[in-house]
């Protein structure tokens, strides 16, 4: 195991298995699949469990109550793209690897099965469901060492693949920088889905101008660009519109999401999302 992987393992295990229980990532809850009863909605209940047909009939909100599953299936999808080979503080690739370790150990701590899938436009590596820490070690090393340059992620292909491949209701966590948008409605209906958007602040708000020879990490092509303040402002506005559309889709389909920057502690943001 290389030095970087060893450092991440020490850091993540210390955060999750330390003595301060209050700082741990929340236990994965899941929605359950075994229906038990209906009950009237009370403050704090999960709005995703509202039964809209009964609510409309009774003119007050009711939620579905499920028997808890004894064991959850946690699927972590690491979306591989050349665009994650970037970072002014840490590379997005490394931050995503640390998140994979955090989520994997959180699942194991809860005695759940964890699966890790690496995907660009097809499956690159699939670590099958397991409760062994060895699967987290292996997935972490793969995440840090996989050559991401000249690879392109298709979020729609990821969603379509997961619909076919993951038959058991699962908690699906998608890790990537989400520079494309896809219809995740079917995936969100079948599984409990979370999207973790990993970005660098500089790529959202570039602060340079002039003529530059830039290399596209996805295609490998060189582009000679004259970056004027007006050009950069249009870029920021286009990205903002993209992200608003992306987050609007997540909200519509009740997909949990968070955005983590390369200068942030991923542990804190993941803990907030999973609460």
Domains and CATH numbers, the chain: 3-23+70-274 (3.40.50), 34-67 (no CATH)
Distances (CA, A) of 209 to 83, 111, 213, 223, 233: 21, 51, 12, 15, 11
Q: What is the pLDDT of residue 16?
A: 76
Distance of CA 201 to the CA centre of its chain: 18
For residue 83, the model assigns a pLDDT of 96
Q: For the chain, give the number of residues.
A: 275
**Quick check: 13 pLDDT over 90?**
no
CA dist 4 and 192 (Å) reads: 31
Local structure of 176: helix, strand or coil: strand
In this predicted structure, what is the pLDDT of residue 110?
84
Q: Is the pLDDT of residue 17 over 90?
A: no
pLDDT over 80 at 199, yes or no:
yes
- What proportion of the chain, given as a percentage, has pLDDT over 70? 91
Q: Is the pLDDT of residue 28 over 70?
A: no
For the chain, the straight-line distance linking the first and the last C-alpha, in angstroms and rounded, comes to 32
Strand-pairing partners, residue 114, are 74, 130
The confidence score (pLDDT) of residue 39 equals 83
Distance CA(107)–CA(130), nearest Å, equals 10
Q: Convert the pLDDT of each residue in 165-193 to its tens digit.
A: 998 889 999 999 999 999 999 999 999 99
Residue 70 makes CB contacts below 8 A (sequence gap 6+) with none
**Given pLDDT bands bounded at 50, 70 and 90, which one contains residue 18?**
low
pLDDT classification of 163: cutoffs 50, 70, 90:
very high
pLDDT tens string 43-97? 778 888 888 888 898 888 988 876 555 578 999 999 999 999 999 999 999 999 9
Q: How far is it, in rounded angstroms, from Cα 268 to Cα 25?
A: 8
Residue whose C-alpha is closest to residue 153's, from 117, 188, 129, 99: 117
| Distance, CA of 212 to CA of 131 (rounded, Å) | 49
Secondary structure of residue 216 in the 3-state scheme: coil
pTM of the model: 0.82
């Amino acid at each position: 195991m290389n030095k970087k992987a060893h450092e991440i393992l020490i850091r993540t295990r210390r955060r999750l298995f330390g003595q301060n229980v209050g700082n741990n990532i929340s236990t994965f809850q899941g929605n359950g699949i075994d229906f038990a009863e209906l009950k009237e909605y009370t403050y704090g209940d999960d709005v995703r469990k509202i039964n809209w047909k009964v609510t409309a009939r009774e003119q007050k909100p009711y939620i579905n109550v499920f028997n808890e599953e004894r064991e959850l299936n946690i699927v972590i999808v690491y979306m591989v793209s050349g665009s994650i080979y970037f970072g002014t503080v840490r590379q997005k690739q490394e931050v995503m690897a640390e998140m994979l370790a955090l989520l994997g150990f959180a699942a194991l701590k809860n005695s759940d099965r964890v699966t890790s899938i690496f995907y660009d436009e097809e499956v690159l590596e699939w670590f099958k469901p397991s409760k062994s820490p060895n699967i987290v070690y292996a997935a972490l090393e793969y995440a840090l060492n996989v050559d991401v340059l000249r690879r392109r992620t298709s979020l729609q292909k990821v969603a379509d693949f997961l619909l076919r491949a993951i038959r058991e209701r699962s908690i699906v966590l998608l890790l990537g920088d989400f520079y494309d948008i896809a219809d995740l409605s079917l995936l969100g209906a079948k599984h409990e889905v979370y999207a973790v958007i990993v970005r660098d602040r500089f790529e959202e708000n570039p602060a340079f101008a002039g003529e530059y020879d830039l290399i596209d990490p996805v295609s490998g092509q060189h582009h000679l660009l004259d970056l004027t303040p007006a050009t950069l402002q249009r870029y920021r506005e286009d990205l903002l519109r993209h992200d608003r559309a992306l987050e609007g889709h997540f909200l519509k389909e009740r997909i949990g999401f968070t955005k983590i920057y390369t200068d942030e502690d991923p542990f804190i943001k993941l803990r907030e999302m999973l609460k």
